[in-house]
Amino acid sequence: MPKRTDIHTILLIGAGPIIIGQACEFDYSGTQACTVLKNEGYRVVLVNSNPATIMTDPTLADCTYIEPITAEFLEKIIQKERPDALLPTVGGQTALNVAMALYTSGCLARYGVEMIGATPAAIEKAENRQKFNEAMKRIGLDVPNHAIVRSLDEAKRALSLIGLPAVVRPSFTLGGSGGGIAETEADFMRIVANGLDLSPTQEVLIDESIVGWKEYEMEVVRDKKDNVVIICSIENVDPMGIHTGDSMTVAPALTLTDKEYQVMRNASIAVLREIGVDTGGSNVQFAVNPATGRLIVIEMNPRVSRSSALASKATGYPIAKIAAKLAVGYTLDEILNDITRITPASFEPTIDYIVTKIPRFTFEKFPLSDSVLSTQMKSVGEAMSIGRSFAESLQKGFRSIEKGFSGLSQVLIEGTDPHQSYEANKPAIQKALKRPSHIRMLEIAQAMRMGCPVEDICEWTHFDPWMLEQMALILHVEKSLTENGIPRTKEAMWDVKKMGFSDARIAELAHTTEETIRHIRFELGIHPVFKKVDTCSAEFACETAYLYSTYEGNPYQVSACEAFPTNRNKVIILGGGPNRIGQGIEFDYACVHAAFSLKEEGIETIMINCNPETVSTDYDTSDKLYFEPLTAEDVIEVVLKEQENGSLLGVIVQFGGQTPLKLVKALQSAHIPILGTSPDKLDLAEDRERFKALLDRLQLTQPQNDICHRVSDLDATIQRLGYPVVIRPSNVLGGQAMAILLKASDLDRYILANRDILLDGPILVDKFLENATEIDVDALCDGTDVFVAGIMEHIEEAGVHSGDSACTLPTISLTPAQLQEVTHTTEMLAKEMGVVGLMNVQYAFQDNKLFIIEVNPRASRTVPFVAKATGNSIAKVAAKVMIGKKIRDFSFNKPRPTHYCVKEVVFPFGRFDNTDILLGPEMKSTGEVMGIDTTFEMAFYKAQESAGNPIPKKGCILVTVHDKDKPRILESVRCLASLGFAIAATKGTAQFLQKNGIEAVSVNKEKEGGDHLVDKILLREYQLVVNTSLGEDTAESFSLRRVALLNRIPYVTTARAFYAVVNAISKLNQDPEQMTTMPLQDWINRV
Amino acid sequence: MLQPFVATPYVDAVLMLSDGTYFLGKGIGKKGTTEGEICFNTGITGYQETLTDPSYFGQIVVFTFPHIGNVGTNSEDNESDKIHCRGIVLRNTITTPSNFRSQLSFDHWLSNQKLVGISGVDTRQLTHHIRIHGPQWAIIVYAQAGECLSLEDVHRSIADKKIELTGDLAQYVTASSPYSWPKKSIQAGSGPAYKLVVIDYGVKHTILNLLAEEGFDITVMPSTVSFSDIMALSPDGVFLSNGPGDPSETGKTAVPVIQHLLDNTIPIFGICLGHQLLALAMGLSTEKMHAGHRGANQPVQEIATGNVFITSQNHGFCVSPKHIPSTVQITYRSLFDQSIEGFCVTNKPAFSVQFHPESSPGPHDTRFLFAAFKTMISTAKKVYA
Ligand SMILES: Nc1ncnc2c1ncn2[C@@H]1O[C@H](COP(=O)(O)OP(=O)(O)O)[C@@H](O)[C@H]1O
Ligand SMILES: Nc1ncnc2c1ncn2[C@@H]1O[C@H](COP(=O)(O)OP(=O)(O)O)[C@@H](O)[C@H]1O
Ligand SMILES: [Mg+2]
Ligand SMILES: [Mg+2]
């Protein structure tokens, strides 16, 4: 059946900011859907608040609304655009939930909008845990013993039925939010309360615990004629009890016989039919009792998901793309398999390799939070690896997650002593392995090294013995490496490489350098071959160049390589690897733009990346995709292969964040050409001494700074600089343990808390610029000319990491002279540093004096934001400049103050217990949103709305601020009072306000007892919590911030953000109708 | 000139194709020599079922999935009483099994069954090769440690062999004498227990089990059974099983019998080789395919409805689309290459499919065909009575 002609305009909803549980995979699915629907001739209206996505590029949809994904804003858009249909299944849980809200409110019916892809009834049946369980019973499938509860009383009763431990699972949430495994009644009540609150339908499921069972996922696609295919089976190596998103997984399932697999396949299909997902992709999760094979259904997600992105990358079958086509009426047999281009999409991919996914965690950012894994997802990203054996795939995976592991690296199991016997270490090992940690796999390997038998490990971890046996095989080779040293024969080297050992890991074990191993390996003529991901295990010829490396064959025969380097001019783009805090989708955006841009220039584009969520790892994005770890070894092998034919112009390292930059030295010593800014100049920015000398020469100012080589020197150094200071150890990644110290006592506490890290190496100390306004600038340079693409002013003052602060473009408080100075300085820096491509500079204005905080000669996090705000595709231009084009060759939109764009960020604090929400110099946010409007205030308002921290229009605010901030918030509070807000404040703040003529009710702090503010927040007495806190005061006010966070009471924690909030409120009060909802394309073209 | 190779701990076996392509590897299962026609199977699960499927008689099976043997073997998943293929080719060495039903490791089972195999082969490259160059004869030779093997000699030993196994292959795998298959206790009200004769060209147990589940009272008869022996049982229907080899060879004895059955309006259902034989009986012809269809992901489309089913397939021959008589209606087509996957006879109660609705291994999408067979018999009883 051909596509539907009765619909013309389709509304597509994105997933919003990157959060834990919803990452780049929805940009991947959304981008595919947009492209497909547009190519089919539909008018596509897209709504997504996340500017860092490819899908929101103005060229993708016909109308792109960067607006809050709330029912209120969507209704406005629907009213304006009058779509015929709404596709809610490619934007994660966010899109699904808002679509349901629009349906329930009658909005869809009012405007005659049909939901395609999944009907409201199907969504309800899948996401409502009770209806889902009933449906499963109807089709004869087992679910865990359970009860559905809607109140704490019901929960108590349920507990007596289910018993402990119990698993709490809210309806309509994602990434396991609000869920957990309760071991005690107190735990149970706490988790249920939270779950009820987080579920949009105030409903949670209480399950009997089946922790330790095997967990599987099936990715299923169905069309409207009821043709169903399974795209991929995924086996979780971590058993039930650990969220699939936090589990290491393999594809395909490896420990099922055909009999069991087919039962699961049938069950998956039955689930889709019963739930009524008519068209599109879904994910069904199962648990299997390892002793009996009993199959239990856990849940189904009636939409594309993180797993479906993984399945798409794992098999080469683009689920979202196909789902979009199915949603508009095609059937599977009418769609071609993109990869083979000769067979239809109505088949089941079969693969001839093993795919491993390893999640990436960021517990170091939240040191006080418990790092144990559970049913609530905590990982921020993931890497995927492909190999022709489990061992190879696994070891590639560990080097892909960029945690400093070169394979199954050694870790220390707490409480063990490697010199002691296994028996002596056993209690400590048992304790460690029973506690699911984010490095459990490595702990298991370590336990094996200490002599722990597989049976014990199975019992403690419930890992399948098959996986453990495979690890034992790896360790067996490892042992021979340790004993025999460097493998010097072809055979020995081959053996090791075939098991997936990296050169780096071999070097570690054989006590030599990675370069030595590589050299020996090259001498022996041992290289990997590249094989294709082709959906069909080579049954058909395949045109698409989607490749992975493997050591294939034996030492005596060279195996076939399918890379077939062309004779064209080519460029290799290095991606950003797994998402993490500080390096996420923004860098993928830049890499994708580089690929698009160079394609336009007729250059062959070759992407290397290992993040399965992204658009960059869509085989459609570049001419060639190598799905490989981003290590020197893996990249060099690809380069060597590509250099066999044609001309490699060079490798682009400045778009993928820190990941590719870290490889520059190794690439350079392998004589691999680097495009753009030269490695020497990249080093200039990183090298403190050289950089300082440059600034001195240019007469530019940095905050005063110094290096301490011993902890004991700190005091004297800081005394010399004078408090306050910014302090950071130089040897840790990602700004970990970076802090602002106000006075001597802060230093003592800081040393106490970070002693271990501080002992590691030099410590950098900067004079802290108080009350300074931070500026972010993105610029383009071709070596001669500079284009300053965007100057952004941070809302929060310097001291809040640029990645964590809100910002506005254009600026709001800088004078023309200041702007001039920033522009001029940027131009000077770019030229002096020989930037070819992109550059980002962070400045701070303190008392009208300009300080340079840092210079990054690479694509920054703000590149997509600037591109969307100005309409200039700076990443694309940068890529062209890197291959020799000149800035003069391009025309740019002039900056126009016709609209304001505000970036706001979102944090994962809710998922990490014991974590403060205060902002500081260490980045903690996972994603960002953008608000656009004609005024700064409304743009800011929208950004807050999008970030899930909506600005209240009336009610009562709680103000409790640090002494320093009291004068700074005064006028803001006065304004709110005049707008009719009630003001509550803690004693000191209240007195201050009263003294200044503002009526404020005084409330007790928690420690003062009685009817105190934490209880009042819990009772939702305040619509906004304003709390600033510094130094030692933070401990005392911690609970109030935490309670506000967990109860989703809007909050602000800086005086400047409060000021912006109040301005937005007052603007809104003047004229509630003044918001402008307009597509990005119109904003950009408005002159 | 091929270099000789000396067995080392890294390689002690060679797989040689008749065109001289060879792969070194490590011997698995029984350490010995074996010859057969090389083919690849793209299924991920179900290696035990595949190897015990009599249709693989005479073949060396290349598994495209690299880890084979993970779940060991058990006594429940056999499709016949022994392994019928001649050899297997794997990418990875066989691992310690892990599955709650596993009774014996795959490697042990292979040794017990005396199957010669080779691991460590770039099965993907080999698959490519087969896809491009088509089916050919192959040999696996195992060498003792330190032994020097002349690859030249190995090649010479098979170079001239085209496909050695010609003639009627079903005769090697069929039942030696008739036997009845245990009845399944079926629910009341599910209709009469029709008498069914299964002509065994190499039938799989799952086919018999599924027929039994439909309530058939089954007698399995050898492939060379005569029309009169069949009719002596006065069956309500005849099932033509799967099996190995060239249908035109087996057809020499089978086709006349089938034609006779058709003439007598005996309801017929055929699968795989049974399908090809029915086609021959209807005057169609069969032909050797380039690479065959072997795997569990094969889409077929039901022509009447447009519905797509994912099927398990295992065939190197197919029914030629040339000269289709008017009494034959094509019912299914492969969506991979448009080849004929099923037909029915318009004036007789007979139909057949090229794919394996019983699956095992593979998807169960088309298991409804067993019930359809039963329905056809009931209808035929009314129509042709
Ligand atoms: N009854 C249970 N016993 C043990 N673990 C469970 C149970 N139910 C779910 N889980 C675990 O919790 C995780 C999250 O549950 P799920 O319902 O899939 O949440 P989400 O919808 O957020 O993905 C699952 O991946 C599984 O590991
Ligand atoms: N001397 C300083 N005074 C005030 N704030 C500073 C100073 N140095 C750094 N910061 C703050 O710390 C944040 C992070 O510092 P930065 O050097 O940019 O680290 P990163 O390399 O992690 O981006 C900056 O965005 C800024 O807000
Ligand atoms: Mg879910
Ligand atoms: Mg889930």
Task: Flag whether pLDDT at B188 surpasses 60.
Answer: no
C-beta separation of A791 from A863 below 8 A: no
C-beta separation of B260 from B350 below 8 A: no
Task: Flag whether pLDDT at A901 surpasses 60.
Answer: yes
Out of B35, B49, B129, B272, the active site residue is B272
Average pLDDT over residues A301-309: 93
Candidates A236, A305, A375, A376: which one to mutate for ligand 1, based on the most atoms within 8 Å of Cβ? A375
Q: Is A769 in the pocket of ligand 2 (CB under 6 A)?
A: yes
Average pLDDT over residues A769-790: 96
How far, in Å, CA of B169 to CA of A919, rounded?
77
How far, in Å, CA of B199 to CA of B205, rounded?
13
How far, in Å, CA of A89 to CA of A946, rounded?
19
C-beta separation of A1060 from A45 below 8 A: no
Assign residue A925 a region (left: φ > 0; alpha: ψ between -120 and 50; beta: otherwise). Answer: beta
Task: Flag whether pLDDT at B241 surpasses 60.
Answer: yes
Q: What is the pLDDT of residues A867-898, one digit of tens each?
A: 999 999 999 999 999 999 999 999 998 866 68
| Tokens representing residue A831 in the block | 């030229």
Number of CB atoms found within 10 A of residue A1041's CB? 24
Candidates A171, A207, A242, A243: which one to mutate for ligand 1, based on the most atoms within 8 Å of Cβ? A243
Question: What is the share, in percent, of chain A residues with pLDDT greater than 70?
Answer: 99
Question: What is the share, in percent, of chain A residues with pLDDT greater than 90?
Answer: 85
Question: DSSP for A943-963?
Answer: HHHHTT-PPPSSSEEEEE--G
Average pLDDT over residues A992-1019: 91
Average pLDDT over residues A617-626: 97
Number of CB atoms found within 10 A of residue A785's CB? 14
How far, in Å, CA of A769 to CA of A765, rounded?
12
Q: Is A544 in the pocket of ligand 2 (CB under 6 A)?
A: no
Q: Residue type for A424, please?
A: A
| CA A13 to centroid of chain Cα atoms | 19
Q: Which of A241, A254, A252, A323 is nearest to A282 (CA)?
A: A323
C-beta separation of A572 from A639 below 8 A: yes
- Closest partner CB to B70 (pick from A230, A466, A556): A466
pLDDT at residue B383, as a whole number: 82
Average pLDDT score, chain A: 94
Nearest CA to ligand 1 atom 18: A299
Q: What is the pLDDT of residues A712-769, one digit of tens each?
A: 889 999 999 999 999 998 876 666 788 999 888 889 989 988 888 887 778 999 999 9
Cut 0.95: pTM above it: yes
In the structure, how many helices (H) and strands (E) does chain A have? 37, 38
Pick the residue with more confidence: A1047 or A503? A503
pLDDT at residue A488, as a whole number: 94
Say whether B100 and A225 touch across the interface (CB within 8 A). Answer: no
Atom of ligand 2 nearest to the CA of A774: 27
Task: Flag whether pLDDT at A1067 surpasses 60.
Answer: yes
Sign for the CA dihedral angle at A554, A558, A564, A568 comes to positive
How far, in Å, CA of B265 to CA of B346, rounded?
12
Task: Please name the residue that has the structure tokens 């009890």.
Answer: A241
Nearest CA to ligand 1 atom 24: A243
Q: Which of B169, B223, B171 is nearest to B59 (CA)?
A: B169
pLDDT at residue A501, as a whole number: 98
Q: How confident is the model at residue B193 (pLDDT cuts 50, 70, 90)?
A: confident
Calculate the alpha carbon distances from A401 to A357, A377, B288 in Å. Answer: 9, 17, 49
List the single range of A172-176, A947-951, A999-1003 with lowest mean pLDDT: A172-176
Interface A–B counts its CB contacts (< 8 A) at 188
ipTM > 0.90, yes or no: yes
Task: Flag whether pLDDT at B186 surpasses 70.
Answer: no
Q: How confident is the model at residue B190 (pLDDT cuts 50, 70, 90)?
A: low
Average pLDDT score, chain B: 94
pLDDT at residue A730, as a whole number: 80
Query: Cα–Cα–Cα angle for A296, A297, A303, nearest 5°?
Result: 160
How far, in Å, CA of A923 to CA of A907, rounded?
10
Atom of ligand 1 nearest to the CA of A241: 5
Task: Flag whether pLDDT at A1001 surpasses 80.
Answer: yes
- Closest partner CB to B98 (pick from A226, A255, A291): A255
Name the 3-class secondary structure at A420. coil
pLDDT at residue B385, as a whole number: 66
Task: Flag whether pLDDT at A1087 surpasses 60.
Answer: no
Q: What is the pLDDT of residues A505-556, one digit of tens each?
A: 999 999 999 999 999 999 999 999 999 999 999 999 998 999 999 999 888 8
Q: Which of A864, A857, A920 is nearest to A724 (CA)?
A: A920
Residues of A in contact with B336 (CB under 8 A): 343, 347, 540
Parallel/antiparallel/unpaired status of strands A956-960 and A807-809: unpaired
Residues of A in contact with B151 (CB under 8 A): none
Q: What is the pLDDT of residues A379-405, one digit of tens each?
A: 999 999 999 999 999 999 999 999 999
Residues of B in contact with A292 (CB under 8 A): 100
Calculate the alpha carbon distances from A623 to A570, A781, A875 in Å. Answer: 10, 27, 18
Calculate the alpha carbon distances from A805 to A658, A734, A773, A928 in Å. Answer: 20, 16, 11, 10
Name the 3-class secondary structure at B220. strand
| Tokens representing residue A66 in the block | 């960067």
Average pLDDT over residues A219-244: 96
Instruction: Establish whether B148 is a catalytic residue.
Output: no
Instruction: Establish whether B358 is a catalytic residue.
Output: yes
Nearest residue of B to residue A224, measured between CA atoms? B307
How far, in Å, CA of A611 to CA of A617, rounded?
7
Q: How confident is the model at residue B1 (pLDDT cuts 50, 70, 90)?
A: low
Q: Residue type for B325, please?
A: P
pLDDT at residue B5, as a whole number: 83
* DSSP code of residue A423: H
Name the 3-class secondary structure at A767. strand
Q: Which of B249, B39, B30, B244 is nearest to B137 (CA)?
A: B39
C-beta separation of A250 from A235 below 8 A: yes
pLDDT at residue B137, as a whole number: 94
Average pLDDT over residues A653-682: 95
Question: What is the share, in percent, of chain B residues with pLDDT greater than 70?
Answer: 97
Parallel/antiparallel/unpaired status of strands A773-782 and A739-741: unpaired
Q: Which of B68, B138, B144, B145 is nearest to B110 (CA)?
A: B68
Average pLDDT over residues A657-666: 94
* DSSP code of residue B319: E
Helices (H), chain B: 47-51, 106-112, 123-133, 151-159, 170-173, 205-213, 227-232, 247-263, 273-281, 368-383
How far, in Å, CA of A57 to CA of A589, rounded?
10
Helical (H) or strand (E) element with A91: none
Nearest CA to ligand 2 atom 5: A799
How far, in Å, CA of A775 to CA of A762, rounded?
28
Q: How confident is the model at residue A616 (pLDDT cuts 50, 70, 90)?
A: very high
Q: Is A244 in the pocket of ligand 1 (CB under 6 A)?
A: yes
Q: Residue type for B192, please?
A: P
Q: Which of A352, A390, A356 is nearest to A474 (CA)?
A: A390
Q: Which of A60, A96, A99, A93 is nearest to A77 (CA)?
A: A99
Q: What is the pLDDT of residues B88-100, one digit of tens each?
A: 999 999 999 999 9
pLDDT at residue A1070, as a whole number: 86
Q: What is the pLDDT of residues A240-279, one digit of tens each?
A: 999 999 999 999 999 999 999 999 999 999 999 999 998 9
Say whether B10 and A256 touch across the interface (CB within 8 A). Answer: no
Task: Give how far A427 is from chain B: nearest CA, Å.
Answer: 27
Nearest residue of A to residue B39, measured between CA atoms? A539
List the single range of A40-44, A346-350, A602-606, B288-292 with lowest mean pLDDT: B288-292
How far, in Å, CA of A601 to CA of A588, rounded?
20
- Closest partner CB to A466 (pick from B9, B98, B301): B98
pLDDT at residue A454, as a whole number: 95
Parallel/antiparallel/unpaired status of strands B237-240 and B340-345: unpaired
Q: Is A243 in the pocket of ligand 1 (CB under 6 A)?
A: yes
pLDDT at residue B149, as a whole number: 87
Partnered with residue A219 across adjacent β-strands are A232, A283
